[in-house]
Amino acid sequence: MPTTLTPAGALHDVTRQFDGTTVLDWLDLEIPRGQIVALLGHSGSGKSTALRILAGLDHDHGGTTHIDGAPAVVFQDARLLPWRTVAANVRHGLNRVDVGRAEKTARVSQMIDEVGLAGREGAYPGELSGGQAQRTSLARALVAEPSLLLLDEPFGALDALTRRTMHDLLLRLWRRHGLGILLVTHDIDEAIALADRVLVLDHGAVAHTETIDRPRDGGQVGHHRRSLLDALGVDHSDEDYSI
């Protein structure tokens, strides 16, 4: 289990405007090493913009960022190189890492094993299922041993069953590597299943923070769901959320 709370990434007083419209409004957030922080919010609330700034993909903002090393990013589409095999795509994650060939080969093989793709090293992206493509994308992200993993709706395009399997995989990888993870999602249940803290973003600021204990207490899940629905302004009075 993760033990340290050193921040893997943070935004302090971050502001961002597009065409004169404020998208991030003095946003403060911290992703402690070894914790999963989920960002929930309505479409346009600024989730992806915050993630892109942490990823170093957007420098045109106010405020400060803190990142421990080079972060890794996984998007909803796996963004694999279609003309490269699974192994070559994962090896791509080591392009900027200064280790020898043998070490790279060993690390690639280990990561492919960890994401459950042993035996598929020679497959091309066109031959993979959506879940296998995201496993490859996760392996490529983690092979460089980042402290911070940024996930932008990583399982949004997968069917419900595959998504659950990927949740289990992500939690295994998170525990083994002691990562800090920022997860951008639209899915309240996904946020509750994975995160230590869920931040609800509204007009570019944190409107609500929900802390969720591990291990999960089944009796608390309904409470967290109702609390997050309230924070999102979603009516749930007609629904039976008893567990």
Ligand X SMILES: Nc1ncnc2c1ncn2[C@@H]1O[C@H](COP(=O)(O)OP(=O)(O)OP(=O)(O)O)[C@@H](O)[C@H]1O
Q: What is the CA radius of gyration of the chain?
A: 18
Least distance from C-beta 55 to ligand X, angstroms?
Answer: 12
Distance in angstroms between the alpha carbons of the first and the last residue of the chain: 27
The smaller minimum CB distance to ligand X, of residues 44 and 56, is found at 44
Least distance from C-beta 153 to ligand X, angstroms?
Answer: 7
The smaller minimum CB distance to ligand X, of residues 49 and 132, is found at 49
Q: Give contact residues for ligand X (rule: CB under 6 A).
A: 18, 23, 41, 43-49, 186
Structure tokens at 57: 């993909």
Give the span between the Cα atoms of 111 and 58, in whole angstroms: 29
Give the span between the Cα atoms of 204 and 24, in whole angstroms: 4
Least distance from C-beta 151 to ligand X, angstroms?
Answer: 13
Phi, psi for 32 (deg, rounded to 5): -65, 145
Least distance from C-beta 51 to ligand X, angstroms?
Answer: 8
The smaller minimum CB distance to ligand X, of residues 84 and 203, is found at 203
The burial class, CB within 10 Å (0-12 / 13-18 / 19+), for 64 is exposed
The smaller minimum CB distance to ligand X, of residues 175 and 186, is found at 186
